């Protein structure tokens, strides 16, 4: 009889051969596969059904051109993607990313991660992801509107409230969701919950903006409790300065921690007095300025340009990578450990390399993997879908309480799964296994589809 180790290894070799040009996707697959060996030893029926090879192949990939006209009247062309990875437990759900780095590998890695993240929330949502190599930086509102309308003209053929419900991600905030939703409504003549992260005046949910950042902090709180610790007096680093980073910073400081550094692609600011969240919101959400402007406006802060230093070199107790994939490498991880970090919570998608994760785990650092720790955003997106279906808005306090319970549930289920499968304390293994088991059972129950 084939062992779990042999089965997982054989499937991964096939995945590598078929996707050799997609390094981000292979990294995400490898990280999950390593955790699942004992699952297949315990449940050999999943080997007989070749479930892993089925799961790792997206149900559908859509790639399309996005022509649009800039403010000079010139026609520009970008590439759009939607990867509909798994609908085993519900409609495809996952964000849209607008960034020059977007390609099929990145969208596939994000969609694969989303399967397990969505499963962990306990909500009936499958995994998907999409986006474009369009760069919204430096574009006017009118240019972004024209791009979004062109993008949605094609995407609308493939999504729906009970089929695929996109949301925002890097480069796609409230402005972009509004333009996308307006075009969908115009094309389909439907007022439906086809997108989440909508504005509060047209079907959005209170606490959705805060959800990913708040959720990461709620997850970290559970990790600290298991160490007999809390946030009081802790110094924290939060990379990024977008939606996730801003609201992780806000929640951390409301719970007694002091966030001393945030960043963007141009560099990072260090503020030993603690980040002024109101100033950060003004600069990033209103003015859309670069992070150096924070240091210009705040005498206690200093700015370090990208390439001249790392935010992860600052001494701190807690680290929240909330910017982008693979932002913490092995050397960064060693620096954090040397400086006394006790917990790392991933607010971005796959922000730590496999080598960095190994450093943290060997050092006894509590590590909250992205698919568990940053699931708050999609969890509240599912709550937004529920409110849209019921035509009933919930209060901020109601949504926030549900978010807290969901994040605690994710932690508890991940910790329990890690213990059951011989990896107590390893939340990477626990999150992968707990997320996988629900999807696997759903796939098995539905036959070979």
What is the C-alpha separation between 109 and 129, in angstroms, rounded?
A: 9
Closest listed residue to residue 254, CA positions, set 279, 232, 229: 232
What is the C-alpha separation between 29 and 112, in angstroms, rounded?
A: 8
CA-to-CA dists, residue 7 to 3, 52, 285, angstroms = 6, 9, 48
User: Nearest 5°: CA angle at 284, between 94 and 139?
Assistant: 75
Tokens of 277: 């969240």
Does 129 qualify as catalytic in the annotation? yes
Decide if 68 contacts 76 (C-beta within 8 A).
yes
Closest listed residue to residue 108, CA positions, set 18, 243, 6, 10: 18
For strand 267-270 and strand 302-305, is the pairing parallel, antiparallel, or unpaired? antiparallel
Backbone angles phi and psi of 368, in degrees to 5: -100, 105
What is the C-alpha separation between 399 and 403, in angstroms, rounded?
A: 6
Sheet holding 366-368, edge to edge: 302-305, 267-270, 258-264, 235-238, 318-320, 343-345, 366-368
Decide if 130 contacts 166 (C-beta within 8 A).
yes
**Residue 127: helix, strand or coil by DSSP?**
strand
Alpha helices in 19-155 (DSSP H): 23-42, 45-48, 51-55, 104-120, 141-155
Decide if 105 contacts 24 (C-beta within 8 A).
yes
Select which of 129, 139, 251, 284 is catalytic. Answer: 129
Closest listed residue to residue 156, CA positions, set 188, 200, 191, 192: 188
What is the C-alpha separation between 7 and 9, in angstroms, rounded?
A: 5
Contacts of 211 (CB under 8 A, 6+ apart): 247, 376, 377, 379, 380, 381, 399, 403
Q: Of how many residues is the chain composed?
A: 449
Backbone angles phi and psi of 392, in degrees to 5: -135, 115
Q: Which residues are catalytic?
A: 129
């Amino acid at each position: 009889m084939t062992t779990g180790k042999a089965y997982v290894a054989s499937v991964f070799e096939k995945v590598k051969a078929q996707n050799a040009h997609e390094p981000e996707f292979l990294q995400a697959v490898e990280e999950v596969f390593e955790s699942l060996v004992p699952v297949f030893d315990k449940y050999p029926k999943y080997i007989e059904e070749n479930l892993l090879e089925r799961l790792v192949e997206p149900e559908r990939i859509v790639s399309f051109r996005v022509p649009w006209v800039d403010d000079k009247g010139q026609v520009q062309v970008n590439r759009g993607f939607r990867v509909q990875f798994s609908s085993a437990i519900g409609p495809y759900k996952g964000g849209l990313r607008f960034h020059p780095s977007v390609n099929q590998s990145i969208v596939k890695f994000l969609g694969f991660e989303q399967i397990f993240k969505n499963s962990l929330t306990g909500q009936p949502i499958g995994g998907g992801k999409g986006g474009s190599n369009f760069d919204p930086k430096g574009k006017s509102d009118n240019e972004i509107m024209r791009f979004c309308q062109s993008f949605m003209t094609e995407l609308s053929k493939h999504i729906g409230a009970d089929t695929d419900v996109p949301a925002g991600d890097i480069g796609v905030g409230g402005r972009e969701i509004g333009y996308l939703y307006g075009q969908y409504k115009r094309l389909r003549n439907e007022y439906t919950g086809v997108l989440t992260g909508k504005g509060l005046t047209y079907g959005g949910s209170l606490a959705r903006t805060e959800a990913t950042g708040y959720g990461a902090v709620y997850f970290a709180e559970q990790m600290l409790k298991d160490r007999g610790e809390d946030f009081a007096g802790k110094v924290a680093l939060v990379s990024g300065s977008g939606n996730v980073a801003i609201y992780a910073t806000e929640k951390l400081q409301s719970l007694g921690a002091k966030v001393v550094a945030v960043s963007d692609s141009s560099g990072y600011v260090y503020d030993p007095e603690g980040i002024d969240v109101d100033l950060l919101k003004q600069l990033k959400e209103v003015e859309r300025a670069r992070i150096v402007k924070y240091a210009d406006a705040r005498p206690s802060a200093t700015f370090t340009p990208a390439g001249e230093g790392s935010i992860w070199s600052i001494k701190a107790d807690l680290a929240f990578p909330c910017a982008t994939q693979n932002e913490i490498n092995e050397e960064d991880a060693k620096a954090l450990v040397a400086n006394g970090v006790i917990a790392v919570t991933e607010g971005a998608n796959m922000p730590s390399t496999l080598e960095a994760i190994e450093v943290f785990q060997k050092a006894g650092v509590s590590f909250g993997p992205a698919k568990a720790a940053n699931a708050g955003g999609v969890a509240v997106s599912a709550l937004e879908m529920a409110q849209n279906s019921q035509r009933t808005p919930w209060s901020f306090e109601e949504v926030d309480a549900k978010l807290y319970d969901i994040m605690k549930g994710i932690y508890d289920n991940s910790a329990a799964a890690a213990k059951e499968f011989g990896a107590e304390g390893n939340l990477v293994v626990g999150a992968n296994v707990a997320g996988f088991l629900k999807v696997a059972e759903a796939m098995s129950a539905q036959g070979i589809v």
